[in-house]
Amino acid sequence: MTTDKKVINPAMQSPRRREVLKAGATVAGAVALGFPAIVRSQSGPIKIGHLTPRTGFLGALGGWAVLGIQMAAEEINASGGVNGRKLELLYEDSVNPATAATKAQRMIERDKVEVIIGEVSSASAKTIMQVAERNQRLFMSTGARSDALRGANCSRYTFHVDIPVTVMVNAEGQGLLREGMIKGQRIFALTSDYLFGHDLAKAAKKFVTANGGTVIADELVSTDTTDFSPYLLKVRQAKPDLIATNLGGNQVTNFVKQYAEFGLPYPVAGFNLNTADAWAAGRGNLGGIWPTVWHHDIDTPGTKAFVAAFRKKYGKTPENHAWIEYVSLKAMVQAMNATKSTDTDKLIAYFETEAKFDLLKPRQGYFRNWDHQMQQEAYTFTVKKEGTYKESWDFLQFSAAIPGPDQPLELLAPTKAENPCTFK
């Protein structure tokens, strides 16, 4: 059962605003002092709405997201806030697309948030984008990966931080090609039956076909599916060369665990897997090659400092949703500091300069000004051999960054000719 009650981290609450005076007295006083009436409204905390799933099949990922953005906000407030104002985060469980839209509208109307950040579900992100555009308020989408959101459904008021489906498929596909797991192979696919899964399956099939593979089956899987035995029986009958998963959230974890129990001999690879899902699957269950946008072993001062601070604060290693919320809030604050404003149009204009942002990776990222997609490095990972690691979270072996240091960041991304994005 969900609640509409606003939840605010006590550590981030700011002093209560002064009671607003009657309109006539306010205007008269402001004129008498020579200050615009707007000054008073800019003296309180900067309210930021955070929407992400806390329940359902994406709830675990949303939990990581909350930890990441909380830590970022606390660090920002401890260093003086933004232009002398503290940040105040308002948290809500987005639940599903309809509820996400309702809560986004309420955050804007009732809570007076300056921006909205968050979301993992592509379907919910789409409805939040519609609310943001209707209200001309900025939405920074942190975890939704559907190509359509930054393509046919793109919006001037939304910026996308996570890598999109096409980049995930291209990064993963290159790894599979190197291992000889595409050309001439018969591939059995499983796809989550919602916007993200459909986009992922479309891009994966395109890549597989273009590189000499054949998708012999693509089974749609409801997002509330927990028992994969009917699908595994179909896999056993089909005898594919490779199983490709286009699943989302804890579906991947459940599938991998049940696949290991079935003891089928066919290799498994996927075009989507978060490190939290990989950890949940557990060593001995996971195999193959998988894509990711960030990992805790990246050898940069920024990642090392972030991981150390996160472990000290929460007692565990951060995964990519904690990281992406952390760097997303830092990027938003960079824009607010640079423009000395929370005005939507000024923030959009700043992001569209393709300003560089520290993403705790070897190379800085930037938002493309024509589709608002963050350009950044990606990675793939496999599983380490038994006996080469000690900690339960340390059994993943990550690749070097893709694209390489001598290649453009846009190498894996859809080109302008391939992307139908047009802002209104």
Query: Is there a domain that residue 384 lies in?
Result: no
Q: Find the helix or strand (DSSP H, E) in which 380 lies.
A: strand 379-383
The band of 392, judged by pLDDT with boundaries at 50, 70 and 90, is confident
Query: Is there a domain that residue 243 lies in?
Result: yes
What's the DSSP call for residue 408? -
The band of 9, judged by pLDDT with boundaries at 50, 70 and 90, is very low
Q: What pTM does this model have?
A: 0.85
**Is the same domain home to 156 and 170?**
no
Q: Number of helices (H) and strands (E), helices first, in the chain?
A: 13, 14
Query: Is there a domain that residue 385 lies in?
Result: no
**Is the same domain home to 194 and 304?**
no
Lowest mean per-residue pLDDT among 225-234, 280-289, 352-361: 280-289
Residue 299 scores a pLDDT above 70: yes
Q: Residue 303 burial by CB count (10 A; 0-12/13-18/19+): exposed, middle or buried?
A: buried
Mean pLDDT value of segment 9-18 = 41
For residue 42, the model assigns a pLDDT of 63
The band of 385, judged by pLDDT with boundaries at 50, 70 and 90, is confident
∠ CA 396-61-90, rounded to 5°: 140
For residue 386, the model assigns a pLDDT of 84
Give 3 or 43, the one with higher predicted confidence.
Answer: 43
For residue 224, the model assigns a pLDDT of 92
Mean pLDDT value of segment 332-345 = 98
Query: Is there a domain that residue 421 lies in?
Result: no
**Is the same domain home to 158 and 303?**
yes
**Is the same domain home to 92 and 236?**
no
**Is the same domain home to 16 and 76?**
yes
What six digits make up the tokens of 398? 């990550």
Query: Is there a domain that residue 4 lies in?
Result: no
Q: Find the helix or strand (DSSP H, E) in which 230 lies.
A: helix 229-238
Name which of 19, 36, 76 is nearest 325 in CA terms. Answer: 76
Pinpoint the alpha helices (H) of 246-395. Answer: 250-262, 275-281, 301-314, 320-339, 344-351
Neighbours of 201 (CB within 10 A): 23
**Is the same domain home to 273 and 340?**
no
Residue 14 is part of a domain; what is its CATH number? Answer: 3.40.50.2300
Burial 157-194 (b: 16+ CB within 10 A, else e): bbbbbbbbbbbbbbbbbbbbeeeebbeebebbbbbbeb
Residue at a domain's end among 273, 292, 311: 292
Give 286 or 357, the one with higher predicted confidence.
Answer: 357
Q: How many domains does the chain have?
A: 2
Q: Which amino acid would we find at residue 131?
A: V
**Is the same domain home to 236 and 348?**
no
For residue 281, the model assigns a pLDDT of 79
Q: Find the helix or strand (DSSP H, E) in which 201 lies.
A: helix 195-210
Residue at a domain's end among 250, 274, 292: 292
Query: Is there a domain that residue 356 lies in?
Result: yes
**Is the same domain home to 67 and 200?**
no
Query: Is there a domain that residue 240 lies in?
Result: yes
Cis amide prior to 403 (ω within 30 degrees)? yes
**Is the same domain home to 37 and 148?**
yes
Region class of 304: left (phi > 0), else alpha (psi between -120 and 50), else beta? alpha
CA distances from 226 to 122, 221, 223, 250, 251 (A): 20, 10, 9, 9, 7
For residue 13, the model assigns a pLDDT of 45
Q: Find the helix or strand (DSSP H, E) in which 30 lies.
A: helix 23-33
Name which of 379, 332, 323 is nearest 355 in CA terms. Answer: 332
**Is the same domain home to 88 and 202?**
no
Task: Say whether 180 sits in a helix, a strand or coil.
Answer: coil
For residue 351, the model assigns a pLDDT of 98
**Is the same domain home to 175 and 158?**
no
Q: Average per-residue pLDDT in the chain?
A: 89
Residue 27 scores a pLDDT above 80: no
Residue 100 scores a pLDDT above 50: yes
Domain residue limits at 205: 166-292
**Is the same domain home to 209 and 347?**
no
Query: Is there a domain that residue 218 lies in?
Result: yes
